[in-house]
Amino acid sequence: MGGAFGLLRPEYNIQRDYIASSIVFGSGVPITAVGLDVTLRCKLEGADLERLRAAGNEASRFLVRLIELWQSGQAGQYPTLHDPLAMAVVFRAGLVETQLGRVEVETAGAVGNGLTLFTPADRLPKGITASTLIAREVNVRGFLDLLVGRCRRRPGESERRWRNSYPAWALGSAASRGSPSARPSGCGVGSPEPKRKAIQAEYEYGRECARQFAAQFSGKAPARSRKWWRRLGPGWQVP
């Protein structure tokens, strides 16, 4: 989440370190930027808050309480969901419509440091590569329904889906019996902390993905196939 591409104002995340932001956007690494142009439209509504109240599970009760504290007695005030939208786009890209182009960050202005200046791909000079997709439109209701729906899940439902998303060895399930080489030491059946082991497995998996991506973009490793990425772990989403 960062940038404001149709608004003449710096966005907080970019402005806090506009030099680093300029380096990242100029690196050529593919980026999908979800900026204020779309996040400002994603405000929780009263009906959504009531749906969360009605769910009655621990997650929804906790979230509702946080919102009420933030409202400070102003019941008609509802939060704008900047970061949740960016996170949702990671696994539900269709929530936003994007435009390909190049982003430059203002770093030499007396007042405008952090401004994100977008040039569409078809207007770029020859030899300049477009590597950034910026979000132009957003399906607000689709996003709000996704967010509220996830928070409203009944106790046990999220747990079942969570368990199904991890490799058997990480959870110490019966499916991992007889294949000690398929899992790290200490993750077998009867492990006292299966969830902790699963989280550690996810962390190591993410580190390996990041290492491989960095190697590819630096030219130190060959491009990997979709099949290669999938073997890193179940559920890996290849664009």
The pLDDT > 90 percentage for the chain reads: 53
pLDDT digits over 192-203, tens only? 456 566 666 766
Residue 220 Cα distances to 27, 147, 175, 190, angstroms: 16, 39, 37, 41
Count Cβ atoms below 10 Å from residue 13 Cβ, excluding itself: 18
Question: Do 186 and 197 form a contact (C-beta atoms < 8 A)?
Answer: yes
User: Which two three-digit tokens encode residue 74?
Assistant: 């102003």
- Exposed / middle / buried, residue 157 (Cβ in 10 Å: 0-12, 13-18, 19+): exposed
- Angle, nearest 10°, between helix axes 46-55 and 140-151? 20
Section 141-156 average pLDDT:
87
Question: Do 187 and 193 form a contact (C-beta atoms < 8 A)?
Answer: no
Predicted pLDDT at 84: 95
74: helix, strand or coil: coil
pLDDT digits over 158-192, tens only? 445 545 544 443 444 434 333 434 434 444 344 44
156: helix, strand or coil: coil
Predicted pLDDT at 153: 82
Of 33-37, 197-201, 221-225, highest mean pLDDT: 33-37
Which residues on neighbouring strands pair with residue 135, listed in sequence order? 98
pLDDT digits over 206-219, tens only? 666 666 656 655 55
- The per-residue pLDDT of the chain, averaged, comes to 79
Predicted pLDDT at 64: 93
pLDDT digits over 48-107, tens only? 999 999 998 888 889 999 999 999 989 889 999 999 999 999 999 999 999 999 999 999
Rounding to the nearest 10 degrees, give the CA dihedral for residues 217, 221, 223, 224.
-120
* Closest listed residue to residue 16, CA positions, set 34, 38, 28, 1: 1
pLDDT band at residue 224 under the 50/70/90 scheme: low
- Print burial letters for 94-125: b (CB count within 10 Å at least 16), e (below 16): ebbebbebbbebbeeeeeebbbbebeeeeeee
